[in-house]
Structure 1
Amino acid sequence: MQKNFLLPLLLLFTLGVQAQSLLSVDYIMRDPKWMGTFPSSLSWSEDGKTIYFQYNLANDPADSLYKLDLDKASTPVKVSLEEQKSLEKGLEAFNSDHSFRVYRVKTQLWIQDLRKKKESLLMEWHEPFTSLGFLADENLISFNSGGNIYILDKNTKAIRKATRIVSGTKPGNGSTASKESVPFLESENLALLQVVRERKEAEAKTKAYRETTQETSEEFVFYTQGKNLSNLQLSPDATYATFSVFSPGSNKNTKVPDYTSASGYTEDLNARPKVGTKPNKVEIGIYDLRRDTVYYINTSNLPGIKDLPDYVKDYPDKKWEEKERDVTLSGPYFSPNGKRAIIQVRSVDNKDRWITELDLTTGQLKTLDRQRDEAWIAGPGIGWSFGGGTLGWLPDSRHIYFQSEETGYAHLYLLDVSTGEKKPLTSGSYEVFDPFLSKGKKYWYLTTSEVDPGERHFYRMPVFGGPMEKLTSLIGNNQALLSPDEKKIAILHSYSNQPTELYVQDNKAGASPQKLTWGQSEEFKSYPWRDPQIVRFEAQDGAKVPARLYLPEPSKKNGAAVIFVHGAGYLQNVHKWWSSYFREYMFHNLLTDLGYTVLDIDYRASAGYGRDWRTGIYRHMGGKDLSDQVDGAKYLVTSHGVDADRIGIYGGSYGGFITLMALFNHPEVFKSGAALRSVTDWAHYNHGYTSNILNTPEEDPIAYRRSSPIYFAEGLQGNLLIAHGMLDVNVHFQDVVRLAQRLIELGKDNWEMAVYPVEDHGFVEPSSWTDEYRRILKLFNTTLLSD
């Protein structure tokens, strides 16, 4: 393999590279502590006077808990271990108006009157307990212990057992052991000795009789029959209990060898299965406490449960069986009064989500809302196949709330369960994030991108809809946390070239945020970090593609450009806040200092732009997401004077995948590329992510064949650097090993591979980051700046 593009850095001077930078790869890829300390993980004290957060003013090996007393301190103070211990809340629950709090201390249950500021011991239990909750009658508190639910009266302190669940098989249901199963010696002994035989037979008859009489005289008992129950919960009116039963799919896990283990031996790390595996099956059981019976939820009557996906038309020779699709269930979510419940159902093929009302007396489901997407169901607040997302009840026990991409953007809806009437609470070409109800249930608090896709602001809105009141004002990202009394807002704010700092403000529109931390080191502040331009260029299909643009000073411009491809696919990096790709951001400043033009694109599939953008890669990764990079290169040539023969590309994970597809499919556009921790064959990636976008390789091989770089390796003409951690349990090192063999067999000699024996998917060691980015810089300097 040629190594001409990995020459020593001194060669740069012979290539006429005159531009210099205050930055260097060694400088920016150090332990990030050199940049300063920045707050994270906010929480409030119960009285709303103190903010707690993770911070590091003492140059400790890791962040520690700090606090700011809003009435006294102006400088964050490290929290002592004793105080940290006192802050550990553990298991707790509040009543509806947050006037009472119950919490666990070891095996004790305590209650706290938050208005009178008094607390007392409610119970000393004999074993660990979980799942605390106030019932609709708030004098009653439920908890789980030993696989059953108990109810405690907070006034009388009386406790009763609500469920009778026994792990195992019902007595008398087991089959009698056959003669062949009796050990040889016992069989011979019973045949020879009549008295011994008669006594054993009499013992068996006595046992069977006792079991029969116990069965008719005891209260109802539900036996699990060997099933593992989880998510045991009680309805607020204490008339039903529900539970989940998981049947794991028998999938083969993969192994990742660790060649540098401390033992000196090669050890295998257990890793995920590959796409196309059998999913786990979830059943939800209902325990009717009044009728003493247990039954399971039935999904067979869901509308469209047998619908086939559109892509079957691409396989006319295959016979597709019409059958009920596999589904996953989450819930139930009980109404506050306990009289109603809803279940979220998702099809395993990712095409449907049903929000349904559960008939608690029969286990039948009535569909309230069906969202069908021939690509896949996802988006902010929608959740994934295992559940989650925005879903719940209003206090009236009549309206439910949820998010949906029905209009093409993730918005908040109310639905009247009695009438079926659905009402959008938000609308427009923007996304809604993390809505929640105020303590008094009169308002929604939510974050949206209404101002701009690159900004996040915190709003308040009446519970049944109306004008949204914008509460934050700082440009960038505002991660807001309300104080317990909802009078103050703590905000983690950042801007494009300003890392996260802590602010606090009154909870009202127009309030002035007060800055509480100044975490940047003097060393970090000494460099003028760029505020990249946000631009939109036109793609070949007419779409306006957002990007971050870094322009060098005209006197330093070298005519070359580098395009950065962010990872994760569904992630946003074109925004006005501090990027999670902060190392890459600093590297882009270094490149710009050296005269490069740098473009960072939110290509098709990126987050923040609605459903159509999110699903633009369905069944073809390396389709529109790749053509957006090509169109970005054309934009640099036509609008910013970049030399069409001097364009490089790089990225990690999904960005590494796109880099490979770019060099293999568009060598006329990209002269060089660095593919970091890249997927090379989607049939080898995980199920949860890949099956959403490409279905499964068994059912949709066309999608995998046209989306996997390994099938296009013969197209490599430019210079390729592959870099990968050998302990990567996300995108396995096997991916690039297989690609390397393919390149060898194709006789390609214009590529190099750098391996990192101690690194997982996300690098940790500064030495690894430094080595990797030295190689990337050397690749671009020696291939894009030479004649």
Structure 2
Amino acid sequence: MRCLLLASLIALATLPAIAIAATPAAGPLDLETIMASPDWIGHPVESPYWSVDGRSLYYALKRDGDSVRDLYRLGANDGAGGKLDPAAMAQAEGPAVFDRGHTHAAFLLHGDVFLVDLASGHRTQVTRSPQPESAPQFSADGRALQFRDGNDWYSYDLASGVTAPAAVLKFADDPQANQPDALERQQLETFSTLLEIKADRDAHRTQQQTLAAADPGRVPQPFWLGDKIKAADTELSPDGRWMLVVAEPAHHGDGKSPDVIHYVTDSGYTEAEPARNYVGRNDPASQSLLLLDLASHKVWPLKTDNLPGIKDDPLKAIRTQTIAALEKSGHDDEAKALKAPDVRPVTISGDGNGGGIAWSDDGNQAAVQLRAVDNKDRWIASVDFATHALVSQDRPHDNAWINWSFNDFGWLKDGRTLWYLSEAGGWSRLYVKPLDGAAKALTDNSKFEVSQPQLSTDGKWFYLLANKLAPYSYDVYRVPSSGGELTRVTQYEGVDSFTLSPDGKQLAVLHSAPYMLSQLAVQPSAGGTPRELTDTMKSGFAAHAWIQPQFVAVPSSHGAGVVYAKYYGPAGETDAAASRPAVIFVHGAGYLQDVSKQETYYIHEQMFQNLLVQQGYVVLDMDYRGSAGYGRDWRDAIYRDMGHPELEDLLDGKAWLVKHHGVDPKRVGIYGGSYGGFMTEMALLRAPGEFAAGAALRPPADWVTYNHEYTSNILNDPQLDPEAYKTSSPIEYAQNLRDPLLIEHGLIDDNVMASDSIRLYQRLVELHKKNFWISLYPLERHEFEHADDWYDEYRRIDELFDTYVKGQPK
């Protein structure tokens, strides 16, 4: 559910401006203001990075009035600088990489590659091409700068200034290597001239191969890899000797996809737009690895069939049950299609879901991270260049699903020791492992998560983000790469991300708070007083007396320990009679953490909670089971059972409000968007009578129609595990509706399609249900972008709660 993870953050970043409202420092809130363009709030600092010399920091900031990002540069010591004009932009730098001797740096700017001599400061533009280059890296000996264009790699020789392809990949059969068939042989035997022509052609080819092998100044001979595959990724070793090619079938079917229909268009005609596939309708293509020796011009397949567990079937019990049911009902072809493969397919390409390739700095070692297509295993394997084989180094397994997060890995500076994150112990921890030795955890087994590991320039320290102090408190910590104490470096409790300076002595820190968007500071990397560099919040927003959320622990009545939540209530609150109305807000994304001291993804919703409190409600926002930040078991609790453990947690939240805050149990509303909309529907349909009313925004109503990447993790494929989908889909419980339900959906949503809500609406019509409504927005996708629609959406929610929660009509 990759798009859902960032739904409100992206909405905040892309909202176009209308007239900018200004909230007074004091006085009541109003819906028009809080749902206006967020330009009146301010903008978060985005994507900071260090200059090549480590003296300045660059960052991006959205303009008022449109979605354009401007580039800024500030001095790290004095904060001097500001927005770069077009002329200054031409002299800017991009995020830099350095050679091992720290004599040169390279970066990308407007898609081209630049080289900097660190001693003289001289800058050389290496490329000027219409297509963007990427991934600059220095060769192990520092004599060349390597970069890629798509999946093609090039090497720029620093001494000669010559750029040449590192390898030429041809995804076709070698036309000169085909052996003549019977007819061709007959032709050659019959016509001596044809035989002479062929001999001459072969002689030229042999000469070119001989000359190419002896002359490094020539373009290398192509690797003919056949027309049955295509490249999903390629990675060149720093020493220029090897290339790893991630291959997948050339003609993997796209599968059938639904259309998104645009009703309000420039042309005045309805227009159709293809969207993503449904889960299980086109599984990811199985990928494979090729090892190319660029020196000897040889190719070896790196087989995966020796990886531990690769031939197991972790879904055997479910598979057996489903196949038996299909065979019993006479669907033999469908049953046959569900037979387990002999070797489980894997994906390798680095797509954020647990794959990728990492080379040691010297190019002598490579590690590959592979993920099973069935989502149950991930492997880190090293490459044995002598035997041309993969050697398993780590295999985290999860009976539910392997997390797509916490998949960082790489090499220590010795080039022989791997480091990686793993949830194998129940929480994300940092490990190191020599190739021929045992793994050692660098972070202890306490119940906290670590992420974003960065190895210091000298290789002595790992810096990482951790919520060790409390689940909702994030700071930068560091630990020696050889093992030792984990030490807290920052004191914000709301760090979003960080980056080390080129010399490793300073940290650039993005930090935030519940009513402060990400701001940039610099501090010593060993700890110390930070220097704040930015304040991009607008005065009207910053001056308002916003309600600070209280971080509370709600006891679970189902053995889950406690459920952390944010409580919004009036200042100076005293005990109240059991008559107060309340609202429970349910965050989206499923695997997302909203209960933290960082900025929330849901800035509009947070302001709406303030408005609700102003109107007499209290509000609770819970990190129900399935949320991020609380370890593997908290995430896995929803496996094959979406909407059930989470509902238990929400009902515990309601009971806590009744017990501790004078809430009338008959006057509790619920709302949320995306996964929060799904949970709103599940709450009303699986616990009728518990909530006075609910508003479901862009909700998945039937998981069979959601995407593969997110859904198959939690519910497997629908063909294989249909019961999990029936258990987890609101449409299956439509007959239970008895409480008012408002559904709101963007008509051009290409993440959760509007058809989900329309199908549920039709089901409720056919069931003769009452008090349900649907509001559709013709120009909105999943993340709403237009202030008018934000206002209309929340006006309807406000009126729903005012009528059915606060008013409680009979």
* TM-score relative to the length of structure 1: 0.87
3-state SS of 2:546 partner: coil
Q: Given the alignment, which residue of 55, 58, 61 partners 1:52?
A: 58
Checking the alignment, whether the CA contact within 8 Å between 2:442 and 2:484 is kept in structure 1 is no
The reply on whether 1:481 has 2:499 as its aligned counterpart is: yes
Checking the alignment, whether the CA contact within 8 Å between 2:584 and 2:671 is kept in structure 1 is yes
Q: Which residue of 2 aligns with 1:192?
A: none
Checking the alignment, whether the CA contact within 8 Å between 1:401 and 1:414 is kept in structure 2 is yes
Q: How far has the Cα of 1:400 moved from its partner?
A: 0.3
Stretch of structure 1 that moved more, 688-697 or 438-447: 438-447
State the distance in 2 between where 1:107 and 1:675 align: 42
Checking the alignment, whether the CA contact within 8 Å between 1:472 and 1:478 is kept in structure 2 is no
Q: How far has the Cα of 1:294 moved from its partner?
A: 1.0
Change (3 A) 1:744 1:235: same
Checking the alignment, whether the CA contact within 8 Å between 1:97 and 1:439 is kept in structure 2 is no
Q: How far has the Cα of 1:177 moved from its partner?
A: 11
Q: Which amino acid aligns with 1:647?
A: V
Q: Which residue of 2 aligns with 1:14?
A: none
Q: Which residue of 1 aligns with 2:358?
A: 333
Q: Given the alignment, which residue of 382, 391, 415 partners 1:366?
A: 391
Checking the alignment, whether the CA contact within 8 Å between 2:97 and 2:136 is kept in structure 1 is yes
The reply on whether 1:242 has 2:216 as its aligned counterpart is: no
Mapping for residues 88-127 of structure 1, pairs under 5 Å: 88-89=93-94, 93-102=97-106, 111-119=115-123
Change (3 A) 1:118 1:61: closer
Q: Which residue of 1 aligns with 2:740?
A: 719
State the distance in 1 between where 2:147 and 2:340 align: 46
The reply on whether 1:649 has 2:649 as its aligned counterpart is: no
Q: Deviations over 1:385-441 (max 9, x none)?
A: xxxxx1111121110000001111001000010224444444321001100111121
Change (3 A) 1:210 1:147: farther
State the distance in 2 between where 1:519 and 1:446 align: 26
Q: Deviations over 1:342-362 (max 9, x none)?
A: 221211000011111222244
Change (3 A) 1:55 1:102: closer
Q: How far has the Cα of 1:610 moved from its partner?
A: 0.5
The reply on whether 1:598 has 2:619 as its aligned counterpart is: yes
Q: How far has the Cα of 1:625 moved from its partner?
A: 1.0
Q: How far has the Cα of 1:150 moved from its partner?
A: 5.6
**Alignment gaps of 5+ in structure 1:** 1-19, 180-196, 383-389
Mapping for residues 255-294 of structure 1, pairs under 5 Å: 255-276=259-280, 277-294=282-299
State the distance in 2 between where 1:259 and 1:695 align: 34
Change (3 A) 1:37 1:736: closer
Q: Given the alignment, which residue of 299, 303, 308 partners 2:304?
A: 299
Q: Which residue of 1 aligns with 2:552?
A: 535
The reply on whether 1:394 has 2:395 as its aligned counterpart is: no
State the distance in 1 between where 2:411 and 2:156 align: 25
State the distance in 1 between where 2:640 and 2:589 align: 17
Change (3 A) 1:512 1:130: closer
Q: How far has the Cα of 1:119 moved from its partner?
A: 4.9
Q: Given the alignment, which residue of 630, 651, 660 partners 1:639?
A: 660
Q: How far has the Cα of 1:662 moved from its partner?
A: 0.6
Q: Deviations over 1:237-290 (max 9, x none)?
A: 433222222323432222101111211111111211110022122222111234
State the distance in 1 between where 2:146 and 2:536 align: 45
Checking the alignment, whether the CA contact within 8 Å between 1:487 and 1:507 is kept in structure 2 is yes
Q: Which amino acid aligns with 1:629?
A: L
Q: Which amino acid aligns with 1:343?
A: V
Checking the alignment, whether the CA contact within 8 Å between 2:93 and 2:108 is kept in structure 1 is no
State the distance in 1 between where 2:422 and 2:29 align: 45
Q: Which residue of 1 aligns with 2:333?
A: none
Q: Which amino acid aligns with 2:243?
A: A
Count, aligned residues: 740
3-state SS of 2:469 partner: coil
Change (3 A) 1:539 1:132: closer
3-state SS of 1:101 partner: strand
- Give % identity: 37
Stretch of structure 1 that moved more, 703-712 or 127-136: 127-136
Q: Which residue of 1 aligns with 2:74?
A: 68
Q: Which amino acid aligns with 2:391?
A: K
State the distance in 1 between where 2:78 and 2:367 align: 47
State the distance in 1 between where 2:534 and 2:358 align: 40
Change (3 A) 1:109 1:498: closer
**Structure exhibiting the larger radius of gyration computed from Cα positions:** 1
Checking the alignment, whether the CA contact within 8 Å between 1:97 and 1:440 is kept in structure 2 is no
Change (3 A) 1:452 1:128: closer
Change (3 A) 1:721 1:132: closer
Q: How far has the Cα of 1:73 moved from its partner?
A: 5.5
Q: Given the alignment, which residue of 522, 530, 535 partners 1:518?
A: 535
Stretch of structure 1 that moved more, 55-64 or 743-752: 55-64
Q: Which residue of 1 aligns with 2:564?
A: 546
Change (3 A) 1:659 1:172: same
Q: How far has the Cα of 1:609 moved from its partner?
A: 0.4
Q: Which residue of 2 aligns with 1:694?
A: 715
Checking the alignment, whether the CA contact within 8 Å between 2:777 and 2:789 is kept in structure 1 is yes
Change (3 A) 1:270 1:97: farther
The reply on whether 1:209 has 2:228 as its aligned counterpart is: no
State the distance in 2 between where 1:312 and 1:519 align: 55
Q: Given the alignment, which residue of 791, 795, 804 partners 1:774?
A: 795
Q: How far has the Cα of 1:164 moved from its partner?
A: 5.2
Q: Which residue of 2 aligns with 1:351?
A: 376
State the distance in 2 between where 1:571 and 1:311 align: 30
* TM-score relative to the length of structure 2: 0.84
Q: How far has the Cα of 1:138 moved from its partner?
A: 2.3
Stretch of structure 1 that moved more, 258-267 or 352-361: 352-361
Q: How far has the Cα of 1:42 moved from its partner?
A: 1.7
Q: How far has the Cα of 1:647 moved from its partner?
A: 1.1
3-state SS of 1:643 partner: strand
Q: Deviations over 1:466-485 (max 9, x none)?
A: 11232211233353333333
Q: Which residue of 2 aligns with 1:385?
A: none
3-state SS of 1:456 partner: strand
State the distance in 2 between where 1:161 and 1:493 align: 42
State the distance in 2 between where 1:408 and 1:313 align: 24
State the distance in 2 between where 1:460 and 1:54 align: 27
Q: Which residue of 2 aligns with 1:669?
A: 690
Q: Which amino acid aligns with 2:289?
A: I
State the distance in 1 between where 2:644 and 2:112 align: 59
The reply on whether 1:252 has 2:269 as its aligned counterpart is: no
Q: Which amino acid aligns with 1:374?
A: N
Checking the alignment, whether the CA contact within 8 Å between 2:558 and 2:648 is kept in structure 1 is no
Q: Which residue of 2 aligns with 1:786?
A: 808
The reply on whether 1:136 has 2:140 as its aligned counterpart is: yes
3-state SS of 2:358 partner: strand
Q: Which residue of 1 aligns with 2:29?
A: 23
Checking the alignment, whether the CA contact within 8 Å between 2:497 and 2:509 is kept in structure 1 is yes
Checking the alignment, whether the CA contact within 8 Å between 1:505 and 1:514 is kept in structure 2 is yes
Q: How far has the Cα of 1:23 moved from its partner?
A: 1.0
The reply on whether 1:79 has 2:84 as its aligned counterpart is: yes
Q: Given the alignment, which residue of 417, 442, 447 partners 1:429?
A: 447
Q: How far has the Cα of 1:565 moved from its partner?
A: 0.5
Change (3 A) 1:513 1:172: closer
State the distance in 1 between where 2:316 and 2:472 align: 34
State the distance in 1 between where 2:646 and 2:129 align: 58
Stretch of structure 1 that moved more, 412-421 or 113-122: 113-122
Q: How far has the Cα of 1:105 moved from its partner?
A: 8.6
Q: How far has the Cα of 1:617 moved from its partner?
A: 0.4
- Across the aligned residues of Structure 1 and Structure 2, the Cα RMSD in angstroms comes to 3.2
Q: How far has the Cα of 1:372 moved from its partner?
A: 0.8
